[in-house]
Copies of this chain bind each other. A is one copy, B any other.
């Protein structure tokens, strides 16, 4: 599992003292080749953390030899000095790993916004992590990037002679401080950077981008895919893209399943949309409706709130032709009362909402969570 499932990768996870409670907080992933191809996708938030701005530059070269990730601080909104901290971190990694260049070291950070990282602890931590690098360090690395995650998240898909593995952190896009999601995927397949990029963008678009627990967009979101080529196998591009999608999907589902304070995982499928963009827009609008999220928490099949959310979108539909099912009971037909809402059984963690726009043939699935008093408690007391 994790980032060391594929050949050609070493990893470590240690406690550098960035977190005051002494928990692991620094992870290092090293690509030992022979190939150093890489691709990355980053938050679309215009307020970007220093490590995101750094890593975006690194990834433009299509080569990453190492990734250093810290929890315990997002290094976002920290100004020019925060960017210097990121730069110094990459330089330190290049220094302790013989023969590496800082320009090929990606950096990712997660934690509270607006606080400088304790570099007096982080830089010695880099040395310690480098000393502990092993071909079985993936799980420790996954543990070291946790913030409010209750469990660490790893995934793996193995095909004919090659593997895609990965780790992620994020408490369901609900992470306090908004430094939400980091993920690193590795593969020993022999794939050039352009194909990694295509596979990663297609995969994240249909997985991480469709997880929407609270509509809040992080300053730090980072997903990286590194290829070592160590298997010597050049996979079929479609098969490779599918494997990357599977690992991303697995990790994305683990994020939703571990969402802070959530008691329900909500699968929102929009069907019969005029196009995929419409389906995604409607799915997101439903996913972000606080009143509906409260109703789901209360196990109340309140389909009126689904219709009201659909009504705020610009998607193609006729209000009098909308149909909505909750857990497969079509409680709304033709924009009005449908089957008896008493038939809806909402006792289980997974709740399925199906919105039929009756406007075409496209569809999309968005995953969300309910809104709970626990969410409020966790997120009202984080930085204090």
Query: By the criterion CB–CB under 8 Å, are A305 and B215 in contact?
Result: no
Contacts of A116 in B (CB 8 A): 337
Contacts of A305 in B (CB 8 A): 113, 177-178, 216
| Contact mask for chain A residues 204-221; partner B; CB cutoff 8 A; 1 contact, 0 none | 000000000011111100
Query: By the criterion CB–CB under 8 Å, are B217 and A337 in contact?
Result: no
Knowing A379-B294, A384-B300 are in contact, say whether A312-B45 is a contact too (CB < 8 A).
yes
- Across the interface, A216 reaches (CB within 8 A) one of B176, B291, B378, namely B291
Q: Enumerate A49-102 residues with CB–CB distance to B below 8 Å.
A: 74, 76-79, 82
Q: Enumerate A283-336 residues with CB–CB distance to B below 8 Å.
A: 288-291, 294-295, 297-300, 302-305, 307-313, 317, 319-320, 322, 332, 334-336
Interface centre among A77, A219, A299, A384 (most CB of B within 10 A): A77
Query: By the criterion CB–CB under 8 Å, are B298 and A384 in contact?
Result: yes
Among the stretches A5-13, A25-33, A246-254, A369-377, the one at the interface with B is A369-377
Query: By the criterion CB–CB under 8 Å, are A47 and B113 in contact?
Result: no
Query: By the criterion CB–CB under 8 Å, are B337 and A294 in contact?
Result: no
Query: By the criterion CB–CB under 8 Å, are A219 and B311 in contact?
Result: yes
Q: How far is the CB of A239 from chain B (nearest CB, A)?
A: 36
Query: By the criterion CB–CB under 8 Å, are B308 and A45 in contact?
Result: yes
Knowing A215-B288, A291-B379, A294-B375 are in contact, say whether A312-B46 is a contact too (CB < 8 A).
yes
Q: How far is the CB of A307 from chain B (nearest CB, A)?
A: 5
- Across the interface, A308 reaches (CB within 8 A) one of B219, B375, B383, B384, namely B219
Q: Is A17 an interface residue (CB 8 A)?
A: no
A382 to B297, CA, bound (A): 12
Task: Across the interface, name the chain B residue whose C-beta is closest to A381.
Answer: B298
Query: By the criterion CB–CB under 8 Å, are B217 and A308 in contact?
Result: yes
Q: Is A21 an interface residue (CB 8 A)?
A: no
Contacts of A177 in B (CB 8 A): 302, 304-305
A371 to B309, CA, bound (A): 19
Query: By the criterion CB–CB under 8 Å, are B300 and A214 in contact?
Result: no
A353 to B267, CA, bound (A): 35
Contacts of A309 in B (CB 8 A): 216
Knowing A114-B303, A373-B376, A377-B373 are in contact, say whether A77-B336 is a contact too (CB < 8 A).
yes
Contacts of A334 in B (CB 8 A): 79
Contacts of A379 in B (CB 8 A): 290-291, 294-295, 298
Query: By the criterion CB–CB under 8 Å, are A376 and B294 in contact?
Result: yes
Query: By the criterion CB–CB under 8 Å, are A380 and B337 in contact?
Result: no
Knowing A46-B312, A114-B337, A291-B178 are in contact, say whether A219-B307 is a contact too (CB < 8 A).
yes
Q: Is A112 an interface residue (CB 8 A)?
A: yes
Q: Is A352 an interface residue (CB 8 A)?
A: no
Query: By the criterion CB–CB under 8 Å, are B288 and A112 in contact?
Result: no
Contacts of A319 in B (CB 8 A): 46-48
Ranked nearest first, the 3 interchain pairs of A and B with the lowest CB-CB distance are A113-B304, A298-B380, A47-B311
